[in-house]
Structures are given as C-alpha cells and as structure tokens.
Structure 1
Amino acid sequence: MDPNVKQQNHTHFAIYKPYGYLSQFINNGQKQNSKKLLGELYDFPKGTMAIGRLDEKSEGLLLLTTDGKTSNDICSGSTEKEYYAQVNGEITTEAIELLRSGVQIGFDGKKYTTTPCKANKIESVPVFPERSKKIRDSRHGPTSWVSITLQEGKFRQVRKMTSAVGFPTLRLIRVRVGSIYLKGMEIGEVRELDSI
C-alpha cells in the first residue's frame, strides 16, 4: 500500500426508515418542509448516501454509507433484499408461483419481466411497530402477508409484482439486505455498523 495515499475511513448505518420519509437528504426542488428527509432522523456525516431506495410509502431496513464503492456493490444485483408485503386478500398458491417465476410489470414506459425470485406466504402475521398511517381494517376484507426476496430492485418493484398477480400491496417493509436484518429495530432508529 502506498504510504502517501491517505486511508479513507467510511461510516455505515442501518436505519428503520419510517413510512412517509423519502430515501434522500436533499429536497430536490420540492416545497420546503413538504417532504420528510432522512437527515431529520439523525446527524449523519457529510457525504452519507442511501444504498438503494425505499419509496415514500415503504418502510424498513435502509442502509447508508459514506462509501460509494460499497453502495455500488450492494446495488449491483448480487445482494439479496427481502421484503414483507401485506397484501389485499388471501394470496393464493398460484399467485406465489407466478411471483417466483417472474411477472410482467411496467418499468420506464416499457414492459419488463421480473427475474425469478423467492416468494412465500407468511402463515402467521408478523409483528411490526404500528405504522403512522393506519392500514385499512378487517371490515374491508381479509389481508395476508408474503415474503419476497429479490436481487434486482426496479422502482416500486414489489408493489408492481403483487398488483400484477391480483393482490395489491397495502404495507411494504424491507426486513433484510444481505446478512443485515431489521429485527429488533424501532421505527426511526439509526444504528452505526462496523461494516456492511
């Protein structure tokens, strides 16, 4: 190693992104205070970036880093990302099989077929902190939960996938990225990680 090259120390974080927050730090021209941003949750060091995104209505595990290479490595498509989706209706075995084999969704104005993935119905209702915006109640019919694990990450992909098989997503929570789990974290919690 060249002794003249300064070793860059990077910091990494895991956060439980709350519902209603954008996965960004800058307010990209939107009306001031109209959107909640990640910087409101913690005093992150300069240069911190989200690794991938969760849309505004999605919750759960979001990794942050000051290291662009780490971000690129995780977003490159080889790292598994697992989501728990609460869907409208009792999801069927046929729908699960379709999710596993790949479904056609719209992406960038074109048709896109998702790559095969892991998908399973979750038999017992998972326990998560209550969301800030209430999910519709059982008077509007049954709901069920499904686990979907992807290595790709198109915009709103899980939501588009469950809609494509006839079971729109009501609540979406990312529970795992690679070997890092959401388990045990509270909504809005930030943890510094030794490595990612």
Structure 2
Amino acid sequence: MHILTFLGIFVVLAALAVGFIFWMTEGGGSVEKLQARAEQVRTALKPVEVQVLRLVSLARDWIDKRNGVAPQAPRGELPSVNGRLPGPGRFDFLVIDEVRHQNQLRRVDKSLGRGYEDGPLTATIVRDPNNAEDRNGCKVYIETTRVGQLSDDDARFYLRLLESRAITSASRFEVSARLIGGYGDRKHYAVVVDLPIR
C-alpha cells in the first residue's frame, strides 16, 4: 500500500513538472524559449521583491521608532568635521544596513535632487571609539541623516587609515558618495562611498 502511495505521488509530481516545463516553453522544448519565459517570470516578480523590501524597511523603521531609536541625529550630537578624504573616483565601498534606512534615503534623494547620474554628493563617516556597543563602528551620514554604516572589513580599513593620520578619538570625515537606485525598476536605494585606494 505504501509503495503504491509513493508511486502515485511520484507520478503526480512528474506530471506537474512536465506541465510546468510545457507551460514555461509554451509547448516547445527549446532552451531559448525556456530562458525567455524564465526572464518573463523574473520581470513579473520584480514588483513583489520591491514591495517586500519596502515592507521590511517599514517594519524596521516601526521597530526603531517603538524602541526609541532615532535614525536622524541632531547636529549637536555629531562630531565636528575633521576634514575631507579624497578618493580615486572608484566608489567601490558599499554602505551596508541601508535596508533599514530606505525612508531616510528617499527623503535625502527628494531633498537633494540627486541620483547616480547626477554626480557625487558629500557624505560623512562618523567614528565614535567611546561607544561601548561598537567601538569600531563607522556610521555613514548624508547631512545629519544616518543612511547606513561601513561593513566590518571596510571599517577596519577605514580605521587603519585614521590611525595612519594619528586620529584615535571621535572623528567625522567628509567623503564623496553616490546614491544608486530609487527609480524605474530599481526602487531600492543603495549608497557607495569613495575612499582612498585600499
């Protein structure tokens, strides 16, 4: 009895698989048709992905608000700007944790009127060694709005850069940055910053 049950399930799954492949290729068996159909499915699901990212961002913003975490720091709480770190124009340092700051990035984009094609804007990297929770954390701000932070590897590189300049206290340096996305099919915002060559 169990063997017949398993055989029946196998036949049903095989029939579903054949039917799915037949649907994907619209009756033909060519790889080109299958790839074209798969691309159509990916395109159709893109808005769903965007909405999921938006819901995740909204949920995290709600949690932050409930826990009293303010994404935007008052000017008085940020260190004074120490200077500017010029980069080579490669913009190969990707800011992480940007998913939690999509609403802030949307406001920045709207207020500055900047996008990827419009050229770089100025961001600041804030390091606070007195922060007991994350002494090596390097937060990224545009104006006074926090938009993310450097990854652990990039933060270590940045801290070595500061140490080479004998800077060990709280600091805030200006860097060039680009805002990516926020239009067309790329509704999700990302930020890249330009630091001196690794």
Q: TM-score, normalised by structure 2?
A: 0.23
Q: Name which one, 1 or 2, has greater alpha-carbon Rg.
A: 2
Q: TM-score, normalised by structure 1?
A: 0.23
Which protein has the bigger strand share?
1
Which structure exhibits the higher relative contact order, with contacts defined as CA atoms closer than 8 Å and separated by 6 or more residues? Answer: 1
